[in-house]
Chain A
Amino acid sequence: MARAIAPDEILRIVAEEELLQEPPVYGRVAVRGPIAALWWGLRVYVLLMAALIAIGFTRGLH
């Protein structure tokens, strides 16, 4: 059977591995260049699929 974990060991791990600290916060990334093109591609894809869904449903998709 595994040895019980003492409170001091738990507290040491919490401190060393910064388990009480919030994970790093990342700011919003600037979307430009090829990423901006990708973004637009994604928007077009979503709109295209939305249009396909609409067409599919009007043709009695089920």
Chain B
Amino acid sequence: MDSSNLRALEEALPRDVRQRAQDRAEIRRAREAGGLWARLRILLLVLGPGILVMIADNDAGGVITYAQTGASYGLGFFVPFLVLMIPVAFVVQEMTVRLGAVTRRGHAEMIFMRYGRFWGTFSAVDLVIANALTLVTEFIGIGAGLHAFGVPLPVGVLVGLAAVLLVTLVGRYRLWERISLWIALLNIVFVPLALLAHPDWSAVARSFGTWQVEGGLTSGFLMLLLANLGTTIAPWMLFFQQSAVVDKGLSPREMRLGRLDTLLGGIVMGAVAVAIVILAATVMHGLPGQNGLNISQILQAVGRRIGPIAQSLFALGLIEAGLIAAMAITASTSWAAGEALGLKVRSLNAKPRDAIAFYLPGVIAASVAALVVLIPNAPLGFLNVVVQVLATVFMPAALLFLLLLVNDREVMGEYRNTRLQNVAAIGIVGMLIVMDGAFGASILLPHLLG
């Protein structure tokens, strides 16, 4: 066949298939080249979903939760606790990598196929609502961060929305992922900030031995413990990473690198979370009114103790945290809705004009969330509670489905969970279910905790 015919055949391929084939070609070439540089190149090509999902988990709400934690409880308990959360997050997210690479289907789609319409609809609807409400908190973070640079809140929120939509609608998964990864790099800004605060490193080291809870096991401590747990594993993360693995076209052959991607992401996530707790513990703990600080109080405290540049860097980190999470959650909404609706084209490789039905749910969720932030006197605190409640109701179901799917012999074959993976996963899932239930109860019935 001559080259013009081959070109015509290639151009007749659906755009998302063509783009995915190009990505696969690059991985194949690197694999054929061999050598250390080629292996590094394969790693760089495969990296993405794991790092993104973990860094996006350190979202605007997460940054504020970690800062409040450090301010209220100092270094004692939460530094080792958050380090312990790294393997917890890894064990859960790694299962989505395997599931996505083996089935080439998203999480919502697999729940529909294996467990029927009721649980499929329950999962998809709950996820889309929770995502839309979580997006509200991300735009609050973006607006507050930009406000620290003198940008009026409405302008900041609309700039954030424009950035999210612009990146979501680039029509190329690889480009979307690379832009997201560059933005996600800014998450590391909290590490030098913690160093600039000159923390007491011996106290940090001691905390791993003592796990000391300052003030004892009060209801406030339990609330923060559960909030920290809730920021480590969220329902959207399961759906996001599995769909991202599918859209990226990762195969079981790249599973080892997909795991490494997830592990690296988990380490960065944990390091940043710990850095924020150390920073807040150093500059805010022990001050009057240390409990329940809001965004502007946290920014002011950082500026007062470390300087205006540190305050600006913290604000920049907050903008990044909101932005990267908003981008990930917008994509997750489109993927999940596309899977639930059974759309034929549901890929970030599709041109927006050719896949309006796929992009629309994400665009609507992000736009509505941004507009809600702009409504004067909107009950934003109440919405935050609703987000947490929805996540609480939904998380056990999402985790159970994940565990059942990765143990499904017919689906996973040789890639199903090993006994050791099951022991770890069931332990973690059991703990998360119990603690999520307690968190939900504490939000709904605060007097239960005394």
Binding site for B on A (CB under 8 A): 2-3, 5-11, 13-14, 17, 19-20, 23-29, 31, 35, 38, 42, 45-46, 49-50, 52-53, 55-56, 59, 61-62
CB of B292 closer than 8 Å to a CB of A: no
* Residues of chain B within 8 A of A11, CB atoms compared: 6, 9-10, 13
Q: Beyond A10-B25, A24-B103, is A55–B10 a contact (Cβ under 8 Å)?
A: no
- B85 contacts partner chain A, Cβ-Cβ < 8 Å: no
Q: Does B301 contact A (CB under 8 A)?
A: no
CB of B382 within 8 A of CB of A28, answer no
A22 to chain B, nearest CB (A): 9
Cβ of B213 within 8 Å of any chain A Cβ, yes or no, is no
Q: 8 additional contacts, CB 8 Å, given A13-B21, A45-B433, A59-B445?
A: A5-B25, A10-B25, A25-B113, A26-B410, A42-B396, A46-B397, A62-B379, A62-B381
Q: B347 to nearest A CB, angstroms?
A: 11
Interface residues of B in 378-402 (CB under 8 A from A): 379, 381-382, 385, 389, 392-393, 396-397, 400
**Taking CB as reference atom, which chain A residue is nearest B116?**
A28
CB atoms of B28 and A13 under 8 A apart: yes
A42 vs B437: C-alpha distance when bound (angstroms): 12
Q: Decide if A23 touches B105 in the complex (CB within 8 Å).
A: yes
| CB-CB nearest in chain B for A48 | B437
Nearest B residue to A38 via CB reads B400
Please, could you name 26 A-B residue pairs with CB atoms under 8 Å apart, sorted by A?
A2-B26, A3-B29, A7-B9, A8-B6, A9-B25, A11-B6, A13-B28, A17-B24, A19-B21, A20-B14, A24-B104, A26-B103, A26-B110, A26-B114, A27-B113, A28-B115, A29-B114, A29-B408, A31-B115, A42-B400, A45-B433, A49-B393, A52-B441, A53-B389, A55-B444, A55-B445
Interface residues of B (CB under 8 A from A): 3, 6-7, 9-10, 13-14, 17-18, 20-22, 24-26, 28-29, 103-105, 110, 113-116, 122, 249, 251, 379, 381-382, 385, 389, 392-393, 396-397, 400, 404, 408, 410-411, 433, 437, 440-441, 443-445
Give the residues in chain B near A46, CB-CB below 8 Å: 122, 393, 397
Instruction: Tell whether, in the assembled complex, residue B445 and residue A52 are in contact, meaning their CB atoms are under 8 Å apart.
Output: yes
Contact: B21 with A7, CB < 8 Å? no
Whether B6 and A7, one on each chain, are in contact in the complex, defined by CB atoms closer than 8 angstroms, is yes
Q: What is the minimal beta-carbon distance from A43 to any residue of chain B, in angstroms?
A: 10
On whether the beta carbons of A61 and B116 are closer than 8 Å, the reply is no
Q: Is the CB of A49 within 8 A of B392?
A: yes
Q: Which residues of A contact B104 (CB under 8 A)?
A: 23-24
Q: Which residues of B contact A2 (CB under 8 A)?
A: 26
Knowing A27-B113, A53-B389 touch, does A61 contact B444 (C-beta < 8 A)? yes
Q: Is the CB of B22 within 8 A of A10?
A: yes
A20 touching B25 by the CB < 8 A rule? no
Least CB distance, A44 to chain B, in whole angstroms: 11
The residue of chain B having its C-beta at the shortest distance from the C-beta of A29 within the complex is B114
Q: In the complex, A2 Cα to B45 Cα: how many Å?
A: 13
A52 to B447, CA, bound (A): 13
